[in-house]
Amino acid sequence: MTNLVERFLRYIKVDTQSDFESETVPSTKKQFNLAKILENELQELGLQDVSLDENGYIMATLPANTSQELPIIGFIAHIDTSPDFSGKDVKPQIIENYDGTDILLNAELNIWLAPKNFPELKKYIGQDLITTDGTTLLGADDKAGIAEIMTALEFFKENPTVKHGTLKIGFTPDEEIGRGADYFDVQKFAADYAYTIDGGELGELEFENFNAAAATISIKGRNIHPGYAKDKMLNSMLIAMELNSLLPVNQRPEFTTGYEGFIHLTKMQGDVESSEIQYIIRHHFKNEFENFKSIILSAAEFINKKYGEVLVNVKIKEQYKNMREKIEPVMHIVENAEKAMLNAGVTPIKKAIRGGTDGARLSFMGLPTPNIFGGGHNFHGKFEYIPIQSMQKAVEVIINIAKFEN
């Protein structure tokens, strides 16, 4: 474990923020800066078939060191960090033997990481935390996963008597903007199943996620000089607000949890003549997911009937599906992860992801891929932190999944 923290600190100092607005692959060229570092490190560790393609995907193979016929297992993490907050010039701080009190992240800006706001901090009293300096995110999502996989590979290199089957490694770009699986070559990867090391707190084990879609709604108005607008003007912005008012308030994300889904207004722009509003639609259960889409379509239909013409046009794009459908036939891979956690002294926390994961899309591409904890908290912002001991346990879990025991 001696190189785990050093690796992580080195990786997070490389800015790899992805970009929703970009149409290139990867969405930002700077992701290649870390990709090339990883390519070299994989080669130095003696892995075979190390490749970095033009789209920013890295793949490598650690051959089996046993003649036993074993499944080929993949481990996957993503290179990019979220566009939600800056990942440039990350200045991590290490809080040794955390005492449970407020942590000063930045004196100049008076930014504190406090248990009153983040009560789970109390779980880590006596442990060592890596935090931000309050001006950037940390990058544990998912550079912790990368560091943990690399450290597990180093373990196998240094302990050749520990038997394991063939291991496949994949590091991907653009996961944070939902494109991480777009150009992932499942056939080339050639694993029987895989795990994304991309979850949150210690013990998380996830094999179900939202069904997801995005709705883009365009509204036509009619702009007339306001002094002469009576019975003539149609203000597209007000019509957009009217449509939004028809959607269920209690099914917004700020009022939902657990297996409850939501319809989330993400963008609204326009003028009198035309407007556009965008929503994301999420639900774990397929029938409720379809119902959410129907609610939006029915609201649009109502508006068009009310005004007697087609003012509202709805386009719904499917984004990803609940991977549970593809994991249930091979539940032994979840059971293997549970056993690996228990053998590492970690209590599995099986929960549904209130979001998406590359593993969901990969599962529907023929590579069943549940998600395992990386150890971090408060991703995508300045309050992000990760306990070093959780990272160490993640490495143990990866090793336990990979190694062969008679």
DSSP letters for 42-73: HHHTT-EEEEE-TTS-EEEEE--SSSS----E
Whole-angstrom distance, CA of residue 207 vs CA of residue 357:
10
Q: Which of 319, 353, 382 is the last residue of a domain?
A: 319
pLDDT in the model for residue 128: 98
Task: Please check whether residues 268 and 396 belong to one and the same domain.
Answer: no
Give the amino acid at 366.
Answer: G
pLDDT in the model for residue 53: 97
pLDDT in the model for residue 190: 98
Task: Please check whether residues 52 and 92 belong to one and the same domain.
Answer: yes
Tell which residue, 202, 199, 132, has the closest CA to residue 353.
Answer: 199
Which pTM was predicted? 0.89
Assign 178 a pLDDT band (cuts: 50, 70, 90): confident
Residues 150-153: contacts with CB within 8 Å, 24+ apart?
Answer: 150/7, 150/38, 150/41, 150/42, 150/45, 151/1, 151/3, 151/4, 151/7, 151/395, 152/75, 152/395, 152/398, 152/399, 152/402, 153/42, 153/45, 153/47, 153/62
Q: Say whether 175 is catalytic.
A: yes
Residue in 175, 176, 198, 358 annotated catalytic? 175
Task: Please check whether residues 166 and 267 belong to one and the same domain.
Answer: no
Task: Please check whether residues 334 and 268 belong to one and the same domain.
Answer: no
Assign 331 a pLDDT band (cuts: 50, 70, 90): very high
Task: Please check whether residues 58 and 78 belong to one and the same domain.
Answer: yes
Task: Please check whether residues 260 and 301 belong to one and the same domain.
Answer: yes
Query: Is there a contact between 152 and 395 (Cβ–Cβ < 8 Å)?
Result: yes
Task: Please check whether residues 173 and 129 belong to one and the same domain.
Answer: yes
Percentage, residues of the chain above pLDDT 90: 96
Q: Which of 294, 319, 344 is the last residue of a domain?
A: 319
Percentage, residues of the chain above pLDDT 70: 100
Task: Please check whether residues 67 and 113 belong to one and the same domain.
Answer: yes
17's CB contacts (< 8 A; 6+ apart) are: 28, 30, 80, 81, 82, 83, 86, 87, 88
Chain centre to alpha carbon of residue 260: 19
Assign 383 a pLDDT band (cuts: 50, 70, 90): very high
Report whether pLDDT(90) > 70: yes
The pLDDT tens digits of the residues spanning 236-294 come to: 999 999 999 999 999 999 999 999 999 999 999 999 999 999 999 999 999 999 999 99
Cα distances (angstroms) measured from residue 32 to each of 15, 17, 173, 174, 181: 10, 11, 9, 11, 17
Task: Please check whether residues 178 and 35 belong to one and the same domain.
Answer: yes
CATH number at residue 28: 3.40.630.10
Q: What is the mean pLDDT of residues 167-189?
A: 96
Task: Please check whether residues 104 and 253 belong to one and the same domain.
Answer: no
Q: Say whether 301 is catalytic.
A: no
Local structure of 395: helix, strand or coil: helix
The pLDDT tens digits of the residues spanning 14-45 come to: 999 999 899 999 999 999 999 999 999 999 99
Total structural domains within the chain: 2
Chain centre to alpha carbon of residue 58: 18
Residue in 41, 80, 133, 148 annotated catalytic? 80
Task: Please check whether residues 219 and 247 belong to one and the same domain.
Answer: yes
Q: Which residue has the tokens 């926390």?
A: 349
Neighbours of 249 (CB within 10 A): 10
The pLDDT tens digits of the residues spanning 126-168 come to: 999 999 999 999 999 999 999 999 999 999 999 999 999 999 9
Q: Which of 319, 347, 377 is the last residue of a domain?
A: 319
The dihedral built from the CA positions of residue 365, 366, 367 and 369, taken in this order, carries a sign that is: positive
Assign 95 a pLDDT band (cuts: 50, 70, 90): very high
DSSP E strand stretches across 107-157: 111-113, 129-131
Whole-angstrom distance, CA of residue 133 vs CA of residue 111:
9
Report whether pLDDT(406) > 60: no
Q: Give the range of the structural domain holding residue 368, as residue numbers without chain letter.
A: 4-208+322-402
Chain centre to alpha carbon of residue 298: 31
Task: Please check whether residues 204 and 219 belong to one and the same domain.
Answer: no
Tell which residue, 247, 281, 245, 244, has the closest CA to residue 261.
Answer: 281
